[in-house]
Amino acid sequence: MKLRKLITGIAASACAAAVLAVGASAYDLNTDLNIFWSANITVPGTEFIGVQDGAYVTITYTVDQSLADMEGHNYWCIKPMINDAGWPLVDGITELTTSEAGDSYVIDPDTTSITFTIPEAHAEHVEIAGLAFMGHGIKLETLTVSNEAPADDAGDTSAPTEDNKGNPDTGVEGVAAAAAAATVAAGALIISRKRK
What's the mean pLDDT in 90-96?
97
pLDDT for 137-163, tens place per residue?
A: 999 999 999 999 887 655 443 344 444
How far apart, in whole angstroms, are the C-alpha atoms of residue 17 and residue 12? 9
Q: What's the whole-model pTM score?
A: 0.67
What's the mean pLDDT in 26-36?
96
Report whether pLDDT(170) > 90: no
* Cα dist from 4 to 12, 70, 121, whole Å: 12, 69, 46
